[in-house]
Chains A and B, each alone.
Chain A
Amino acid sequence: MKPQALWQPGVALLVLVVAAIFPLVITTGLWTQIGVETMIFVGAAAAWNIFSGFSGYISLGHAVFYGTGAYTVAILAQHWHLSGDAVFWLMPLGAVTAAVVAIPFGLVALQARRHTFVVVTIAIFFIFQLMASNFSFTGGSSGIIAPVLNWDAATFNNPFYYIALIISAVTIGLAWLIRGSRFGLQLRAIRDDEDRARGLGVKTFRVKLSALMISAFITGLLGGLFYYFIGQAVPQFIFDPLFDLSVALMAFFGGLGTVAGPVLGALIIEPAQQYLTVQITNDYLSLILLGALFLAVILLVPRGVIPTLSEMISQRRSRQAGRPMAAVVPPGAPAVPQPAAGRGKEAGR
C-alpha cells in the first residue's frame, strides 16, 4: 500500500472539519455568502465529475439540471402556497425532476460523442433557457419570486451553508465509492475506449445514462437550494451558461476524473471569482480572468493540478530512490520475464 492510503482520509477529514466550523468563525455577511456559493459549487463540480469526469463525456449543459431543480421547487412552492422552511422539503422533488429530464437529455445527447456531444449539450441548454423565459408557468423573463424567509439576518446564510455542505460531502463520498466500483470502472473504460468496452460486454449506453441521471439528481438538488438562496428564479441566473463553464473549469483545474480535483477547483475558483466580483464591482473583469484561467489550465496543466502534482511527487521519489521510473519501459526490451516451465497451465480454466 502506498503512503497516500493514510494521509488521504486525513486530509479529507481536516477539510471537512474546517468547512464545518467556517461559518462559526467567520461571520461577515460577505464571506458567509461566498461560503454558501462555494459549497454549492463544490457539490455541483463533484456531481458533474461523476458523469463527465469519469466517462469523458464533457457536458456543458448541466445548467439544465440545475435550472430544472430550481424551477421545480419554485413552481411547486408557488402552486402549493408553501412558505418558510417547508420549501426546503421540495428539494428532493427538484432533484427527481432533474434526473427524469436527464433521460431525454441523455437519449438525444449520448447518441453523439466527443466534440459533437459537447455541442449538443450546449444546444439543449439554450433550448431550456429559452423555454424558461417564454413559458407562462415559469413566469417568463420576470421569473418566480421565492417566499421570504424571516430568519435572523446575522445567521441567515448558515442553514443554506450546512445543507450545501451535507449535499457536497455525500456527493464526494458517492463519487469516491463510484470511482472504485465496477460501475465506475466501466465508466472509465468508456472514457478510454468505448467500443472496446462494448466488445467486453459493457452495456455502455445504460452505464452512461445512469451516471448522467445520478449527476443530474445532485445538480437538481443544488439548483433548488440555490433558488431559495438567491430568492428568485429568473432565466438568466438559473439557466446560466456561466454555471456550465465554471463547473467544467473547476473540474479541469483540479483534475478531471479524480475525486479530489473538482473539489479543490471549486474551493479555489468560486471564492476567488465571487471575491473579485464584489471587490472590483466590475463583473466583466472577473469573467475575463475566469476565461484567462481556463486557457491557462488547458495550456499549462491540461490534466489538472492534482494529477500533475502527484506525478511530480512520484517522479521526485523515484529519482531519490535512484531508480528509473516504472513508466519508462525501453521500447523493444524483452520486458516480459520468461515464464517458468509448467507455470500457468491451469490459468485457462
Chain B
Amino acid sequence: MSAALLRTEHVAKAFGGVQALTDASLEVTEGSITGLIGPNGSGKTTLFNVMTGYERLDAGNVYSRDQKITNASPQKVFGLGIGRTFQLSRIFPRLTVMENMLVAGQHRSGVRNPLARAGGPADRRHAMELLEFTGIAGHASALAETLSYGQRKLLELAYVLVTDPALVLLDEPAGGVNPSLINHIAARIRDLNRAGKTFLIVEHNMDFVMGLCDRVTVLDYGTVIASGPPELIRDDPRVLDAYLGTDEEDEDVRS
C-alpha cells in the first residue's frame, strides 16, 4: 500500500491548561475526500493548524507521504503541495480578486526580473480559468473586500488551487454559506477530486460531509474516536454519544 498523502501520529497540543489535542491520528489517502468532523471545540481547526505549520505541536508527528513534516513552516508545507483554506476565509481584502490569485503563483515562474509586472499572460489565463471554475470570474478586477462571504470562500479555494497542490485542506467550506452556494462548492470539490485532487475537509454540515466524503474521521476532546466510511460513522454509537452526549462545550475558541 502506498504511503498516505498526509498522516498524523498521536498528535498532542495544549494551549495553557487546555488540552486541544491529546491523541489525534489521521490518514488521508491519495485521491480521497476525507472528512474530519467533531463537536465544537474538539480540536479540528487546531489539528489543521498543526498539520499546516501554523501551530507547533507538543508531541506526535506529521508526515507527508514518507517525509516527516512535524513543525515545518507554513511556506514549507505549502511548497510540498499541501494547500489550505481557513474557517473564516482569509483573503487579501485590499488586493483585487485577480491579484489575490497571483500571490500564490510564484514557484511556477522560477527566477526572473523581480520588477516585472506580476503575473504574465499565462499566469493570468490560468488564474482566470480557476476563477471561472469557481464562478467568480465576473469579479476579477473588484477589490476582494467587496465579495460576499460565500464568494470569499470560493476565492480562497481558487487561489489555493493556483499552484496545483496535490492535497487541499478545507476548513468549513460550507460554514455560513447559503444553500445554493453550498451545492455549488460541493460540485466543484467533486470535479476537482475526479481530476485527481485529494481533499481533507473540516465541516459541521453533516449532509455536506456525508454526501461528499469517502472516509470520515471523528474527533472528540482532541482524540480520534472513530474513522471509516460515512455510512458506518453515521450509526457509530461513539459518534452519536459525542454529538448528542451530555455536557458539551459549545464554543470553538480557536477559529
State yes or no: do A and B come from one complex: yes
Question: A residues engaging B (CB < 8 A)?
Answer: 174, 177-178, 180-186, 188-189, 191-193, 195-203, 257, 326-339, 343-349
Which of B16-24, B92-100, B208-216, B234-242 lies at the interface with chain A?
Answer: B92-100
Partner of A201, one of B107, B117, B129: B107
Interface residue? B66 (CB, 8 A): no
Q: A196-B92, A327-B146 are in contact. List 8 more A-B contacts (CB 8 A).
A: A188-B94, A199-B78, A336-B184, A338-B180, A339-B184, A347-B133, A348-B196, A348-B197
**Which residue in B94, B109, B135, B159 is a CB contact (below 8 Å) of A337?**
B135
CA distance A185 to B151 in the complex (A): 21
Contact B129 A347 (CB under 8 A): yes
The answer, yes or no, to whether B253 is at the interface (CB within 8 Å) is no
Question: Closest residue of chain A to B77, judged by CB?
Answer: A199
Are B115 and A329 in contact (CB-based, < 8 A)? no
- Chain A residue nearest in CB terms to B132: A344
Please, how many angstroms separate the alpha-carbon atoms of A191 and B144 in the complex?
14
Please determine whether A334 and B196 come into contact, CB atoms closer than 8 angstroms: no
Which of chain A's residues has its CB closest to B114's CB? A183
Q: A14 to chain B: closest CB distance in Å?
A: 25
Chain A residues near B184 (CB, 8 Å)?
336, 338-339
Give B contacts to A, CB under 8 Å: 52-54, 73-75, 77-79, 84, 86, 90-95, 99, 102-104, 106-107, 109, 114-119, 129-130, 132-136, 138, 142-143, 146-151, 154, 159-161, 163-164, 178, 180-181, 184, 187-188, 191-192, 194-197
Contacts of B54 in A (CB 8 A): 195, 199
Interchain CA distance A293-B92 in the complex, whole Å: 30
Q: With A and B bound together, what is the CA distance between A195 and B77 in angstroms?
A: 13
Question: How far, in whole Å, are A31 and B16 apart by their CA atoms in the complex?
Answer: 63
Q: Is the CB of B115 within 8 A of A177?
A: yes
**Contacts A/B (CB < 8 Å), 20 sampled:** A184-B118, A189-B92, A189-B95, A192-B91, A193-B92, A196-B92, A199-B78, A201-B104, A202-B75, A326-B142, A327-B146, A329-B146, A335-B151, A338-B135, A338-B180, A339-B135, A344-B133, A344-B188, A347-B133, A348-B196
Q: Are B132 and A347 in contact (CB under 8 A)?
A: yes
User: Once the chains bind, are B92 and A192 in contact (CB under 8 Å)?
Assistant: yes
CB distance from A143 to the nearest CB of B (A): 38
Please name all residues of chain A whose beta carbon is closer than 8 Å to the beta carbon of B86 when the two chains form the complex.
196
Q: Which 4 A-B pairs have the closest CB atoms?
A: A344-B133, A347-B133, A348-B195, A192-B92
Q: Are B107 and A331 in contact (CB under 8 A)?
A: no
Contact at A348–B115, with CB atoms within 8 Å? Answer: no
User: Known interface pairs A185-B99, A327-B146, A336-B181. Does A199 touch B84 (Cβ–Cβ under 8 Å)?
Assistant: yes
Q: Quick one: which of A182, A192, A327, A338 has the most chain B CB within 10 A?
A: A182
Q: Is the CB of B135 within 8 A of A336?
A: yes
* B149 & A196 in contact (Cβ 8 Å cutoff): no
Contact for B181 among A181, A191, A202, A334, CB less than 8 A: A334
Q: Is the CB of A345 within 8 A of B159?
A: no
Q: Among B107, B130, B151, which residue has its beta carbon within 8 angstroms of that of A347?
A: B130
> Given the complex, which residues of A lie within 8 Å of B75, measured CB to CB?
198-199, 201-203
Docked pose: A336 CA to B150 CA in angstroms: 9
CA distance A173 to B13 in the complex (A): 49
Whether the pair A185, B103 counts as a contact (CB closer than 8 A) is yes
Q: Tell me which residues across on chain A come within 8 A of B104, comparing CB atoms.
A: 200-201
Given known A-B contacts A198-B74, A201-B78, A348-B196, A192 and B118 have beta carbons under 8 A apart: no
Return B177 CB to nearest CB of chain A, in Å: 10
CB distance from B244 to the nearest CB of A (A): 30
Query: How far apart sit A181 and B91, CA to CA, in the bound complex (Å)?
Result: 19
**A339 to B129 alpha-carbon distance, docked (Å):** 13
Q: Are B195 and A345 in contact (CB under 8 A)?
A: yes
Nearest-Cβ distance from residue B121 to partner chain A, whole angstroms: 14
Contacts of A336 in B (CB 8 A): 135-136, 150-151, 154, 181, 184
Contact (Cβ within 8 A) A348 B117 = no
Cβ of A343 and Cβ of B117 under 8 Å apart? no
B133→A329 contact, CB < 8 A: no
A332–B182 Cα gap in the complex (Å)?
Answer: 12
Which chain B residue shows the least CB distance to A191? B94
Bound complex: CA A192 to CA B91 (Å): 8
Q: Which residue of B lies closest to A56 (CB)?
A: B94
On whether A344 and B129 interact (CB within 8 A), knowing A198-B74, A338-B184, the answer reads: yes
